[in-house]
Structure 1
Amino acid sequence: MASAKKQPLLIGWREWVRLPDLTDLPIKAKIDTGARTSAIHAWKIQRFSEAGAPWVRFELHPVQKDNRTRIACVMPIFDEREVRSSNGETAVRLVVKTKLKMDGRIWPIELTLARRDQMGFRMLIGRTALKRRVLIDPAASFLTGREPGPV
C-alpha cells in the first residue's frame, strides 16, 4: 500500500520560523521566491579550521529591532557562494546547513550568513528551501500562527 503524500504547507509572505540547531528563539522571516538561497542576519563571522575542516563562528541577532539578544553559534562551513543582493551587489557568502522548523514541520536548508542590518527581516527564506514543501499565499501573513509556538 502506497503512503499518502504529505500536503504542502500553506504559508504567507512572512512567517514565524525556528532554527532548532541554532536557537530556540522564534525568528520572523520573509518568504522570498526571488532569492535562491535563504539568508540569516549574522555578526562577527569568523572562519577557522577544526581537524582540517572549515568551520565558522558567528553571532545571530534573531529578534527584529533588537541587537542585544545575541546567540553564539559554531558550525561547519558547507559551501561558499557568490550571491547577488537585492540592491544588485555581488558578494561571496559562507553557507551552512541547518534545519528549519515551520508549523511543526522540520526540514534541512542551506543558509547564507550575511549582515542584514538595513533589511526589514532578520531572515529570508529562499525558493530552494521552499521547493515541494510549501504553497505561498502572497496576500497573507502568519498563516502558520501569529504567535511563535514552542520548539
Structure 2
Amino acid sequence: MKTFDHLTVIGLREWIALPELGIVGLRAKIDTGASTSSLHASDIQPFERDGQRWVRFTAHLGTLVQRRHRCETELVSLKTIRSSNGQVQSRYVIRTSLALGDRVWPIEFTLACRKSMRYRVLLGSKALIDGRLVVNPALLYVQDKPILTLSGAQ
C-alpha cells in the first residue's frame, strides 16, 4: 500500500475563505468529478477597467441564513461547461485566492447559479491538485476554519 505523506488530507466538506473577495466562513463541497471549481453568483456583469476585462457579481453565501456579498475581480475567460446532467452553458471564469486550513493558493472558479444546490461552492480537481490535497470522503471538516486578518493575509 502506498502512502502520500506530502499531501494534505481534507474531508468531503470543508470551511474555506476567499480573502481577495472579502469572503470568509463559507462551506465548500469537494467534487473530484468536476475539473473546475464553481461559486454561486448572480447579477453577473462584465465590464472594462483600464483596458482589462473585469466582472462584478453578487456571491451568495450560506444555506440556512442567506448572505450576499458584492464582488469585482478580473475576468480570466468565458468557458463552456457541461454539467453533471449534461446541460451545456457558458460561464465566466475568475481567479482568486482560496484559503483552506492554514494554506492559501490561487484557483479558478466558474460563476454559476447554484441556488438549488445545498453548497454554494464546489471545489474541483484542479484546485485539489494545485493545493496538493487528497480527499477522504468518510471525513467532514478536517481542516480548521481559515483565520484571516483584515488585510486578507494569514
- Could you state the TM-score of these two structures normalised by the residue count of structure 2? 0.87
- Residue equivalent to 1:3: none
Between the aligned partners of 2:74 and 2:23, the Cα distance in structure 1 is 20
List alignment gaps of at least 5 residues for structure 2.
149-154
- Residue equivalent to 1:104: 102
- Residue equivalent to 1:140: 139
Q: Which amino acid aligns with 1:41?
A: H
Between the aligned partners of 1:51 and 1:102, the Cα distance in structure 2 is 32
- Contact 1:25–1:62 (Cα < 8 Å) also in 2: no
Following superposition of structure 1 onto structure 2, how do residues 58-137 of structure 1 map, counting pairs within 5 Å?
A: 58-67=57-66, 69-131=67-129, 133-137=132-136
C-alpha distance 24-48 of structure 1, shift in aligned 2 (>3 A): closer
- Could you state the TM-score of these two structures normalised by the residue count of structure 1? 0.89
Count of aligned pairs between the two proteins: 143
- Contact 2:28–2:121 (Cα < 8 Å) also in 1: yes
- Contact 2:100–2:146 (Cα < 8 Å) also in 1: no
Structure 1 residues 72-104: Cα deviation after superposition (integer angstroms, max 9, x where no partner) = 100110011001112211100000000111111
Between the aligned partners of 1:51 and 1:127, the Cα distance in structure 2 is 33
- Contact 1:14–1:29 (Cα < 8 Å) also in 2: yes
- Residue equivalent to 2:21: 22
Q: Which moved more, 1:114-123 or 1:53-62?
A: 53-62
Identity between Structure 1 and Structure 2 (%) = 40
1:35 Cα deviation from its structure 2 partner: 0.2
Between the aligned partners of 1:110 and 1:41, the Cα distance in structure 2 is 13
Between the aligned partners of 1:24 and 1:34, the Cα distance in structure 2 is 25
List alignment gaps of at least 5 residues for structure 1.
1-5
1:43 Cα deviation from its structure 2 partner: 1.2
When the two chains are superposed, the root-mean-square deviation of aligned CA atoms in Å is: 1.4
Give the 3-state SS of the residue equivalent to 2:92 in structure 1: strand
